[in-house]
Amino acid sequence: MKLGDAAPFHRPRQRQRTGIFTPSCGERLMLQQLFCAHCRTALTKPIDVETGGYPAGRAWTGYGCDPLTEPGHAIVSSDPMVWSEDANKKPPLQFAPQYWLNPADVVGRVEDVKDGRRLNGCCGPSGHGGPNQRCLKCKEEVGTLMADCWTDHVFIPEPGQTYWIDMK
């Protein structure tokens, strides 16, 4: 890559940052709970899942990014968190729809994978190395944690490794 060329991976379009996403009236999709597809262990408590995408009024500020949502709330987006315009270099998180969870919602239920290459980042995992979190019980990979100083802090479950159950 030459100086001035576009970076291969892109972040969501920048918007003005106003804080953590809080659901507003009429956006509630449903109450759901995330499970490991391999051992059927609950990876979260029931969570309010909202439709939308990257929260309006929020932009990447460079350092010290916060979680996208409050604990107990998630966003389901039709746009991937990270994407590439190069068809030959698809990043691991280039799939949709994606569920974006507060990392606090999976604490004590997932752990880092053993492959240090997928935990790259200076202040925490950037999430660009592929799935970096595994189920605490069965040790299968279940998602990607982004928690570096230049990324939003978010847990993104892998669709083939996890499933959601509607809670009534």
Is it the case that residue 8 has pLDDT exceeding 80? no
The residue extents of the domains of the chain are: 28-166
Among candidate residues 123, 128, 148, 142, the one with its CA nearest the CA of residue 82: 128
pLDDT of residue 86: 64
SS3 8: coil
pLDDT single digits (tens) 67-90: 888 999 999 988 887 766 666 666
pLDDT for residue 94 = 81
Class of domain 28-166: mainly beta
What's the half-sphere exposure (Cβ side, CA atoms, 13 Å) at 22?
Answer: 3
Among 12-26, 122-136, 149-163, the minimum mean pLDDT is found in 12-26
Cβ-proximal residues to 53 (8 Å cutoff; 6+ apart), any chain: 12, 75, 77, 78, 79
Structure tokens at 125: 């995992």
pLDDT digits (tens, 9 = 90+) for 11-59: 333 333 333 444 443 355 689 999 999 999 999 999 999 887 666 555 5
